[in-house]
Chains A and B, each alone.
Chain A
Amino acid sequence: MTVNIALPTSTRQHFLREKVYPFLSVVAIYAILLVGAVMIFFPFAWTISTSLKTEQQVLEYPPTWVPDPVQWENYPDALTARPFDRYYVNTTIITVLSVIGQVASSAVVAYGFARFRFPGRGIMFLIVLSTLMIPFHMLIIPRFILFKYLGWLDTFAPLIIPNFFGGAFSIFLLRQYFLTIPLDLDEAAKMDGANSMQIFLRIILPLARPALGAVAVFEFMSSWNDFLGPLIYLSSDRNYTVSIGLAAFRNDYFTAWHLYMAAAAVAMIAPLVVFFLAQKYFISGVALTGSGGSKG
């Protein structure tokens, strides 16, 4: 004998609405996140896997995931094939100074655009933004000639100094953020006797930490991973950066993938550490810009 127990319609709808739909929603969200995580993790895992293979295993077809034997010596081999210690130091110097320059100068300019009224402000801001539309490749030769006359070739200066004159993307991002800070705070500070610089340093900057952090993270990633700039402006091995050092493992006919990936895995450590330490700023930057972080 079977007993059919039919729930009242309203109860069933309530059950679906309160229990099933939220559950399905959570499952769907996790499924999407899982797919996203796998997509992000896949290249990283492949890098690590390849970095532990022999040269022959790298060529195996179909490719294998698990190295056998595990070639730990790829790491010391790769890192001693070129003076990567020096490359790391060089890259760190360039990146740290670039971040300082970019954040400091962009914040000052953005503050000017956000808080001061002066003739031509709109036009000037438009001009700053329009520089985003100039393809970088168009600037390579003019900038190279400029830096040649300044005597900066084969020094870190071309990779660092321009950052002390702000970046259009950073200025835009910071200006938009500064505009969200109520003017009442500025006025209250003025009533307490603060001047514009004090308002900037003591009111605006502390409140804009998420945006400043986002700019810093973007600049860090951009400088650390920059290949074309060091390629063009640096010519001495002692001045090379990590990205140029990595390129030594590949040429038109052959890439030593096992060594390349080992060195690349080590090169990823700094950006990964920065990302994990500053991920809330990075995410807020994505939210602020509505983009995936493309600096343009």
Chain B
Amino acid sequence: MLGNRKTLLTALVMVIFLSMSLGAAAQDAGVTIKWFMRWDQNRVENVAMPVAQAFTDATGIGVEFENIGSGSDYYTKLQTTVAGGTPPDVFYPATHVANAYASKGALLTINEFVERDGIDLSVYDSTILANYMIDGELHCLPIDNAALVVYYNKEIFDAAGVDYPVDGWTWDDFVETATALTLDTDGDGVTDQFGVDTFRNYWPMVVWTNTDRGLFDDVRHPTEFYGMDQGVIDSVQFVADLILEHNVMPSDEQRADISDLFAAGKSAMQVVGHWRMQRYLGSGFDFDMAALPLGESGEAVNRADGSCYAISADSEHPDEAWELVKFLAGPGSLGVNMLLDLQVMTPVLSEFKSDPRFLDPELLPGSNKEAFLAGEGNYFSMYDPIHPMYSAFDSLWKQELGEVWIGAATAEEAMMRIDEEVSYILENIEDYE
């Protein structure tokens, strides 16, 4: 019996030892930087891997690359590693996430590195760069902004005899165009082709075009919410009416969970950013881009938020991590250079904005890539305010506007409820800081 127990105990210890040793990471003698990303496989294989290798070749610093494609999974892991004291050295937060981490002291300020290496920050768009500054301290080097355009399927426009969108078109023109392109081709009473795929979650963009301002008085230190502003209410109702009144944009039910009606050739237009272009290039139809329509303000607008490369405040190798960040997002960086060839982003570095590979790519000769630059100088954050209270606001509007999109509430009713809740949040904003 004793022998049996010993055997069992030995087996258990062996199993534990085996489990601990299985998959144990090999230890490198030199410095290795952990680089944690949330890219698709295309960017991982064509940019991240070659850039990491080039960086190691150039500097002798190793790069341990990890990628989680889904943003929510990425941030779950990032948050755990940061809280657990083992964050990656370099990671890739979106604007509002970078600010949330920076406000909690989880990001290294990079001013000293910038000054030491003489980095000219004027080559970055100033509005966009300001999104990553807190009290004069820079926490990130941005690489892109999530600029929105209207993609349009030229073949669908040609078939319907509808003119292509032109610069300076308005939301009225947009509705007129979308209406002409919404078709019930087989006459069964069910729409077979929509004027535009859904973009309702970008409703703040419509607000900017109409009011030429964001949703709060101060994007960094909000004290007042403009939800009851008539321009805001009308903008939200306008988006809802595209579904409910004009029937040019599909409801959830009509979309049937198809991830992209434009890619499927079932909508004539799509309001989205650069990140979808690869997909449309593989769709086999002829398309181009137009700038966002103008609203009541008459001013072209676009998104300021995007993503940046940040260094963890707990990094054991901050100097080496900074070298990698420079390599990825600094002026003339190889990282952005390689991304340009993929047609996946709108760069924030001025040298790349005017680069022919961005403006006149071989993959899309003669296309209106300048549409991505429309609204330059009049940028707003989609994640407004850039403040830790954003997640509470985000949940709130998604819940309340969900009613508006299905016609169960008017924009005014929903905004009234949101305004009430946001007022309470703003009164107790220190709870979120």
Contact = CB atoms under 8 A, between A and B. Distances in A.
Contact of A252 (B23, B25, B71, B283): B71
A233 to B, nearest CB: 9
B70 A252 contact: yes
Given A195-B1, A231-B76, A251-B39, A59 B259 contact: yes
Interface in A153-181: 153-157, 160-161, 164
Given A141-B83, A148-B86, A161-B19, A61 B256 contact: yes
B65 to A, nearest CB: 9
Given A155-B19, A157-B20, A248-B69, A253 B276 contact: yes
Interface string A31-61: 0000000000000000000000001100111
Given A61-B256, A141-B83, A154-B24, A253 B275 contact: yes
B430 to A, nearest CB: 24
Interface residues of B, number: 49
Contact of B264 (A61, A155, A227): A61
Contact of A62 (B67, B71, B256, B275): B256
Contacts of A232: 76-77, 80
Contacts of B64: 235-236
Given A60-B264, A155-B19, A195-B1, A247 B40 contact: no
A81 B81 CA distance: 27
A238 B38 CA distance: 18
A144 B433 CA distance: 25
A154 B23 contact: yes
A56 B284 CA distance: 9
A276 interface: no
Contacts of B266: 61
Contact of B276 (A160, A247, A254): A254
Contact of B68 (A140, A164, A231): A231
A154 B19 contact: no
A234 interface: yes
Interface of B: 1, 5, 12, 15-16, 18-25, 34, 38-41, 64, 66-71, 73, 76-77, 80-81, 83-86, 256, 258-261, 263-266, 275-276, 279, 282-284
Given A55-B282, A155-B24, A248-B41, 18 more contacts: A59-B265, A61-B266, A63-B256, A100-B15, A144-B81, A145-B84, A152-B20, A154-B25, A155-B19, A157-B16, A157-B20, A161-B19, A227-B73, A238-B23, A247-B70, A251-B40, A251-B69, A254-B40
7 contacts: A56-B283, A59-B260, A59-B263, A59-B264, A164-B12, A232-B80, A236-B64
Interface of A: 55-56, 59-63, 81, 90, 93, 97, 100-101, 140-141, 144-145, 148, 151-157, 160-161, 164, 195, 197-198, 227-228, 231-232, 234-239, 247-255, 257
Instruction: In the A-B complex, list the 3 residue pairs whose CB atoms are closest, starting with the nearest.
Output: A59-B264, A251-B69, A239-B23
